[in-house]
Amino acid sequence: MPSSTHVSTTTEAARPAGRSQWSVVWDQFCQDRLAVLGLGLVVLLFLGAIAAPLLANDKPLLLVEQGRWSSPALHGLFRPPTGQELVLDRLFDLTLCWSLTALALGLPLAGLLRLVGLARPRRRRLMGLGGLLLALAWAVPFVSHNAPLDKSDYRGRVAALRAAGEGWAVFATVPYDPIEQLADVGPLSPPSRRHLMGTDSVSRDVLARMVYGARVSLSVGFVGVAIYVLIGVLLGAIAAYYGGWVDVVLSRCIEIVMCFPTFLLILTIVAFLEQRSILNIMVVIGLTSWTGVARLVRGEVLRQKEMDYVSAARALGLGDARIILRHVLPNAMAPVLVSATFGVAGAILTESGLSFLGLGVQMPTPSWGQLLNEAREGVGTYWWLTIWPGVMIFFAVTIYNLVGEGLRDALDPRLRT
């Protein structure tokens, strides 16, 4: 049966003829100005996290020394991975290299393909294949080449070059590394002209740590939510589709897990871990927060499996796995998308709370909650360690909630105009 029939009667009635469900949802979403603003700010936050080495770096983005041109900042992206946090940074750095190269090559290539006269579907396939090959090409040096750690004092070196007239350099907006302990400034220094957000307890620039802390928050939010959405979707779909004793057993498991307060359960598990890392926190959040998604999917699949297209698929001899994955789940994912959007905000708050209590990522990995933890003993004196990360956590949670509310309203056919 055609996939166009795989929608509910209510949604079909609210959809104009000749338009897909998701195009109508997007148009409805765009009518909510706050939701569109929130989505734009989410994209901006992601771009800032990806471009962190271009925004905060103690190495020059471009160095001209006695006629030789180099980029120590780019070379530093290939540093050897010494922990799970650095592996996470390298994934962001790989995305940065891929994005810059894709923009430099993709726009001219797209224009050339259009001039040649290729049809739009073929252009999209060629651009997608080119993007995949480009990602593989960048992944090879990231995996095979480990540059030695560069601890050179480039700021002093560039100052000497400029004084002698032998070279110059272009630094990032924040010319400090997030884990660099500065020798020319004391610990817990208030905001100044050189350090706009001050320094922390071991003389590290707070603004540089704020920039890189976005990587931790976004990673924990999206990966943790992806884990529990996957678990909840699978268990909820299986319970609702097969029913009987399968539904009884899985429903009781959901109810048992729901009896425990989620944050308290996360605290208990994390406290017993020997090594607290970003990966461990992602997995713990994913393994303890799936019950809400499972209940949503179960209720939606119970409704979908009674529709005619499921009976037609069974009559055609399709297997249960194909019916669930190809037909039922795509029509049951609307409430899950809304729940996942709100879940990202919740995961960011959870990671910040764990770091605030000293159970999150370990030093020297930058984290917004970790800066709040440093300010606990002297909020009145070290106000800059409280205000900046607090504002960013509030900002991130708010924009995700705005997107979630807009998506929820757009997916409700009763609210469509």
Whether 6 contacts 331, CB under 8 Å: yes
- What pLDDT score was predicted for residue 6? 40
Residues with Cβ within 8 Å of 381's Cβ and at least 6 positions away in sequence, in order, are: 188
Spatial strand order of the sheet with 68-70 comes to 68-70, 62-65, 167-170
**C-alpha gyration radius of the chain:** 25
81-137: pLDDT as tens digits:
555 556 778 888 888 888 888 888 888 888 887 888 778 888 888 888 888 888 888
- What pLDDT score was predicted for residue 220? 86
Whether 131 contacts 97, CB under 8 Å: no
3-46+206-415 to CATH, choices 3.30.479.30, 1.10.3720.10, 1.10.10.60, 3.30.420.40:
1.10.3720.10
Q: What is the mean pLDDT of residues 32-58?
A: 92
Q: What is the mean pLDDT of residues 199-224?
A: 88
By C-alpha distance, which of 255, 252, 247, 253 is closest to 305?
Answer: 247
Q: Cα(216)–Cα(218) distance, rounded to whole angstroms?
A: 6
- What pLDDT score was predicted for residue 82? 55
By C-alpha distance, which of 216, 206, 255, 193 is closest to 84?
Answer: 216
- How far are the Cα atoms of 65, 190, 199, 209 from residue 155, in angstroms, in the given order? 13, 22, 18, 19
Is the pLDDT assigned to residue 1 strictly greater than 50? no
Q: What is the mean pLDDT of residues 237-251?
A: 89
Angle separating helix axes 21-30 and 33-50, nearest 10 degrees: 100
- What pLDDT score was predicted for residue 145? 63
Residue type, 86: L
Residues with Cβ within 8 Å of 377's Cβ and at least 6 positions away in sequence, in order, are: none
Question: 62-65 and 68-70: which strand pairing?
Answer: antiparallel
- What pLDDT score was predicted for residue 154? 85
359-382: pLDDT as tens digits:
777 777 788 888 888 877 654 567
- What pLDDT score was predicted for residue 15? 53
Neighbours of 166 (CB within 10 A): 12
Is the pLDDT assigned to residue 211 strictly greater than 50? yes
Quick check: pTM over 0.85?
Answer: no
* Average pLDDT of the residues of the chain: 82
Is the pLDDT assigned to residue 413 strictly greater than 70? no
270-326: pLDDT as tens digits:
777 777 777 888 888 888 888 889 998 988 888 888 888 888 888 888 888 888 888
Residue type, 106: G
- What pLDDT score was predicted for residue 10? 43
Q: Cα(109)–Cα(127) distance, rounded to whole angstroms?
A: 8
Segments of the chain assigned to CATH 1.10.3720.10: 3-46+206-415
- What pLDDT score was predicted for residue 210? 92
Q: Given pLDDT bands bounded at 50, 70 and 90, which one contains residue 8?
A: very low
Is the pLDDT assigned to residue 13 strictly greater than 50? no
> Tokens 């925004």 belong to which residue?
55
Whether 362 contacts 351, CB under 8 Å: no
Q: Given pLDDT bands bounded at 50, 70 and 90, which one contains residue 50?
A: very high
Neighbours of 18 (CB within 10 A): 6
